[in-house]
A and B are shown apart, each in its own frame.
Chain A
Amino acid sequence: MKYVLMLAAILLIGFTSAFSQTVITGRVIDARDSTAALGVSVGVKGTNLGTTTDGNGAFRLSVPADAKTLVFSSAEFITREININPDRTDYSVMLERTSTALQEVVVSVAYGEQNRKKITGAVGKLQGNAVANIPMPTVEQMLQGKIAGLQSVSPSGQPGSFQQIRIRGIGSINASAEPLYVIDGVPVNSGDVSGLTNSSNLLATINANDIESISVLKDAASASIYGSRAANGVILITTKKGRAGKAVVRVDAEFGKNDIAFLPDAAVPLNREQFKELTTEGVLNIGGSPADAEDVLNSLGYNTTANYDWLDLVKRQGQQQQINASVSGGDAKTTFYLSGGYFKQMSVVIGSDFKRYSAQLSLKHNVDKHFSVGTNINISTFRQTGETESGFFRNPMLAAMALLPTQEAFNADGSPNYDPTVFYQIFNPLAIQQYDRQQNNTLKGLGSVFAEYKILPNLKLSSRYGVDYNNIEEIFYNNPFFGDAATADPGTSGAFYNNYTRLYNWVWTNLVDYNFKAWNDKLDGSVTAGYEAQKSKAYVQAANGTGVPQTTLLRYPSVATPISVGVSGSDYAFTSLLSKAQIGYLDKYILSGSIRRDGSSRFGSDTRYGTFWSVGAAWNVDQENFLQGIKFLSALKLRASYGVNGNAGIGNYDSRALYSFNGSYNGLPASVPGSVGNPGLTWEQNKPFDIGLEAGVFKNRVTVELDWYIRKTERLLLDEPLSQTSGFNSFKNNIGAMENKGFEITLNAIPVQTRNFTWQIGFNAAWNKNKITKLRDGVNEIINDPYIQQVGKDVQSIYTYLWAGANPETGDPEWYTDASKGSRTSDFGAAERAIYGSLSPKGFGGVNTSLTYKFVSLSAQLNYQYGNYVFDSWAFLFLGDGAFGSLNQYTKQLQRWQKPGDVTTVPRYDFFNSTGSNINSTRYFNKGDYLRLRNVTLSVDLPQNIISKLHLTKLSLYVRGTNLWTKAFDDQITIDPEQPINGTSDIQFYIPKSVTFGVNIQL
């Protein structure tokens, strides 16, 4: 097969041809104030010939003799097309300012670009400048609140960690619900593949400043062409490309500080006196004497004078820094974009850092008017350091919450104290940070080469070979002196783990594009057909040993006792035939369709092929004669789409019943049943239906985009629970169905636009309602305490005991006996679980606004979410009424019951109780409604007369605040309300708030 592909490629290269040219000059003017329009790109339609206007708005461009149309475009202006008059070589062009997203004419879509007016699907679109110079390590993080219906949150606070994205709700339960990422036409591996370290992200290598645009494909018409991986949406990332003309040199630099964005008062750990009071009371409450209480306190360090605020010791003012430089330009034959970037984020928790170096090159060369070749290459490396999160004794955040003020933090010489008699459970996080190391070095090469051959101006063959290569090197070093791996025997003290992961993914895409016009150009259409093959191979080497040298100076210590070495691998492959077509009449009526046949290695040979399709239609009502009289209406479009796409986001071998050869017993190799398997396993099927309306009034000063959708997911890839007597907990099966329906609105307006002052305001909102419509035959619920999947209910429904608080007479914990909340009981066994809301928000979105006065502008973005619960899954330690009496407690614990008559939700504090009051119940679920000021930026664009003296094209300075203000509406909340998709806190590092200062220079 490869030989045939090569042959095709060689044939493509075999063409040359000559062409003649004319030179066109001109000037571009801003229609608002008749000043020169700078940096506008001027291109020849249907080619990649082009230039940009200079400081006077002037341009000069060589065009082929047969060029017909010039296209003027820039982020600030409405794109305009001008027909080339063969008798004229000088043009003066007025451009209108853009106000809203509706006017971006050309949008990246699946396997190509499309004029916005002709799009029949729901596509969320973001320009690169919306993600540039934002103090966040990953691009996906920046999307929260920016695109209607897209939720982006991280399960970890580690900078550069994996980001969860849900588009139009949760479409899968046990299969991946993440979207497919396609970067410059290459479907890439995404997610967290780290093995030893906290949380990593394969896409954290991407420098947001290199991004030209992001398209979010939300419905069938836009996404179904990606077939079996489109069910949860597709995110297309297009990197910056060069344009013909004077080279543009751009430098962006910023630095700043990070701090904790939100820490509820209720969750602040107790100080020395508060904890003493509580513990004394707790010992007396279980029948101890004051002397007993003193003994207990002494055993907890109260016989020392130590008094530390561990939260203060663990947090820090993190630094934030990025520098990006790029050069782009080219001539009629060759265009290029070259950039380098440096990004650093120090989290607000000690030891947790992220540093990235990235380089991007994109190059395109027209060999002749038929044939062009090019490449996009991104090489990037990042280093992540940071301790483990969650309930590990080494988690600095756990330590900040759990260590007592009486635990002596430092030795006499100021070094961190790690005496195991003082830190007998949770280690001193200062010592862990100094002595231990957890590090992830990721190197990613993401690149593609492509060739395009235009057989005819309207018939194009193209071939793209893309490679997505990741090297992940991780080390985890445990010192030999204290902590998890310290022992008395030097031969086995300390530990060193080393993982090497290689993830290699190639994709070969071959396409034929054909477009046509007919009936005096009234009818136009396009057809794309192609073939795509993809294979991803993972290779992991892991080695670890114990008995490290008794020094901390070695970065790669030797080990006295090797423990284990192992190699594992996991592959998947896809083959696909795909086609899409579109036909339009007078730009009024547009019909589109797509079909794709996918084969996947993840399913059994009888069930691995699936066919996915879509149909879409759009009606540009504003083009109709009957609306021509309505002057204020500048755009009106109705669209609808329906189709079928799929999800194959399961383990590579989940359909197989396997025996795993791993481990050993008594030094002899062992095999164990690994999975139940299911040879009939096949795609999860998603059927999205979407109706959209796009409208603009007052020359598009106000635009609105509305979408209503319902997407039904069938044949869910579900972990069907098994009776554990089978020896397994569950197996993957295509059972059940689910639907998400919702409504999205994106509104943009420019209420004020004068020569000197512009006020823009935008709003996006989404409401989604999820419902499980079917589970297994005869089974209506799957309980996964404290959650439930029940027919008719939201997939993230909470199912737990209903907390009633303290008995006012005795202070005993009480639960409601059942959902009616009619009676309370102190007998846990007499309480029943009940459904208690969901972890999924009812609605979320963002509001953005910007005010520009002359050269000063102020912009802001406010994100919100409401209607969900969040779960503090570790509160049982810190709000357990003494169950964990030797750990520090939340301030909220002070609200405990003290005497008969006290009405409180916090029971009597019994030192080391097992009353069950800290068993998961609604006690640890709080409302997750919040408002967060995601961004506020004040920037100054230095006026032209100043920057021209400096021989610059642009110089702007800004100060930006990120997450500066957070409002949680539940005043009993103990965690940041911005939690992962599952709403569950896992003692992550805090989400930071940042203040950054930046400068942007353009030569």
Chain B
Amino acid sequence: MRTGNFILKRKDMKAQNKIFNIVASVLILVIFSVSCSKDFLELEPYSDVSADIAISNEADMGAALNGAYGTLRNSNLFGRTLPLFGDLIADNVYISAINSNRYLDFFQVNYTVNNTNASAIWQNAYTTILRANNIINSELASSGKVDQYRAEARAIRALMYFELVKHYAKPYQVDPSGLGVPIVLTYDPKLKPERNSIAEVYAQIEDDLSKAIPDLSVDNSSGFFTSYAAKALLARLYLFKHEWSKALTTSQDIIDNSGFTLVPAQGVVDFWKRNTPRTDKVEVLFEVAFDAVQNAGIDALDYFYDQQGYGDALAADAFYVMFSATDVRRQLFLTSSPIRGDVKVVNKYPNSSSADPDEFKVLRLSEVYLTAAEAAFQSGNESLALDYLNELVAERDPAFAGYSSSGQALFNDILTERRKELAFEGQRYWDLARYNLPVNRINMSANYPGNVPLTIAADNFRRILPIPQTELDANPNIRDQQNPGY
């Protein structure tokens, strides 16, 4: 092959020496850059670390635990949906005719497998469980702090499984061997689990709490799980299982030994105004802390009740009138809305417009008293039941002489008092569900948006949520295990 123009002219000869230098340089450059490119391509993220070293000491584990607590703030967990659901699908709360369409389908008991709130409960609960699992399963050696953190993670995991099994499975009493939710205790992204039985899920929760309680040694603020908070959750679990004596002894243990005191009557309004966790052992055993930086914002429960916010959810008129004029809890309502007029507004969460909005109180001593009363009643000890009930009522309605009913009337009084004390905390529906009782919405409001069923019978398939379509789509093993009706 003859090449054209390849003859060097004389005057280029001097340059030619340099050309070789250049060619050599380029070659060196290429070779050198390839050999050093390994470092060049090794780029670390700025605000993340590799998952396998993320929990390698006590401080890391503490941070990971805070991450697990953090998801509880999600607006589809305790941020809003969980505490709203329990009142909305029952008879305490309704959606105003003037609304942003949020949760209307819950109120109208007309949701499908595509319901975004229903799927988000599932997703976020399991996200929290993963965060807890990673802490529980980490290989850090036992130490005071490590054991404490692990135990808190177990309590968080128990709390999430409890919420899952409540929302997606039939009440324990109806069919303990029925389909619960998948129990996932280790991280395996490729797992496609089937649903475990309801009894297995309850056993898992009980196991986690029992293992957690002895290790929860730190006297922490109400923003974290302590041993008595875990016991309160356990007492609630026994109530759901109708294990009355265990429910009674566990709640008595808390009342007698925790050092916690009921919030007194004169403190109730201020109690609900407080927007930070407390260490004074008054009332709150565990609450999810929301602060100025980390909160659910306009997707929070308080904003949904606040008439300066969405204000879509209102208290049922018929419920409001159940509070006597001397009941301090009546002061937790406003009786008109600038937009919706003469309606009853929930004011239990008054900090919606504060930079630091309301905490959500998951476990309170008042509930433990009510649990003790109910468990005592179901164990046949009506006088003990009345003692616990009246001890609480005295601090809510000082003018009231106290209950002296018996039998079914006493049972009804306990449930009514539970309804009033724990109103807007997402408990009402579950008090009916664990006895498999129908929801009867009587004279709730003249301001209904329409298409609202006034009775939700015990056999209505929508009393439990559908397994989300996204889960059915991604997990073939659960596809045939959808709750009937959906």
Where the two chains meet, the residues of A that have a C-beta atom closer than 8 Å to any C-beta of B are: 1, 4-5, 7-8, 11-12, 14-15, 17, 283, 286-288, 296, 299-300, 370, 420-421, 424-425, 453, 455-458, 461, 484, 487-489, 491-493, 510, 512, 516-519, 521, 523, 531, 533, 535, 546-547, 561, 563-564, 567-575, 577, 599-601, 605, 608, 652-653, 656-674, 676-677, 721-729, 731, 782-785, 828-829, 877, 883-886, 910-916, 919-920
Contacts and interface: CB of A to CB of B under 8 A. Distances in A.
A541 B221 CA distance: 33
Q: Which 4 A-B pairs have the closest CB atoms?
A: A727-B130, A487-B353, A659-B54, A912-B449
Interface stretch (B45-53, B248-256, B394-402): B45-53
B83 interface: no
B189 A563 contact: no
A601 B44 CA distance: 9
Given A1-B40, A601-B41, A914-B110, 6 more contacts: A1-B32, A420-B338, A455-B15, A668-B63, A668-B66, A671-B67
Contacts of A535: 40
B174 interface: no
Interface in B1-47: 1-6, 8, 11-12, 15-16, 18-19, 21-23, 25-26, 28-30, 32-34, 36-38, 40-43, 45-47
A97 B355 CA distance: 71
Given A286-B451, A726-B187, A916 B110 contact: yes
Contacts of A728: 127, 130, 189
B123 interface: yes
A665 B21 contact: no
Nearest to A17: B11
A17 B355 CA distance: 73
A37 to B, nearest CB: 32
A669 B66 contact: yes
B291 interface: yes
A517 B6 CA distance: 10
Nearest to A453: B22
A4 B62 CA distance: 48
Contact of A8 (B29, B70, B114): B29
A455 B38 CA distance: 32
B5 A458 contact: yes
Nearest to B22: A11
A725 B110 contact: no
Interface stretch (B228-236, B313-321, B367-375, B468-476): B468-476
A489 B6 CA distance: 83
Contacts of A569: 46-47
A455 B25 CA distance: 14
Contacts of B100: 425
Contact of B292 (A487, A561, A920): A561
A416 B432 CA distance: 49
Contact of A911 (B68, B223, B450): B450
Given A11-B18, A533-B33, A916 B112 contact: yes
B60 A671 contact: yes
Given A577-B30, A828-B112, A886-B99, A533 B40 contact: yes
Contact of A726 (B52, B184, B354): B184
A826 to B, nearest CB: 13
Nearest to A10: B25
B473 A782 contact: yes
B308 A420 contact: yes
Contacts of B475: 723, 725
Contact of B468 (A608, A665, A667, A724): A724
A640 B55 CA distance: 55
B112 to A, nearest CB: 6
B480 interface: no
A11 B123 CA distance: 62
A728 B37 CA distance: 33
A810 to B, nearest CB: 14
A824 to B, nearest CB: 18
A675 B34 CA distance: 30
Contact of B45 (A4, A561, A570): A570
Contact of B49 (A7, A17, A299, A658): A658
A610 to B, nearest CB: 12
A801 B457 CA distance: 29
Nearest to B184: A725
Contacts of B52: 657
B122 interface: yes
B471 A671 contact: no
Contacts of B112: 828-829, 916, 919
Contact of B193 (A5, A666, A723, A727): A723
Contact of B339 (A420, A488, A664): A420
Contacts of B66: 664-666, 668-671
A912 B474 contact: no
Contacts of B54: 658-659, 671, 673
B6 A456 contact: yes
A122 B21 CA distance: 39
Given A664-B293, A665-B66, A288 B193 contact: no
A662 to B, nearest CB: 6
Interface stretch (B101-109, B263-271, B414-422): B101-109
Contacts of B355: 491-492, 546-547, 561, 563
A670 B63 contact: yes
Contacts of A286: 450-451
Contacts of B192: 723
Contacts of A491: 355
B49 A661 contact: yes
B450 A910 contact: yes
A563 B470 contact: no
Nearest to A484: B298
Nearest to A524: B4
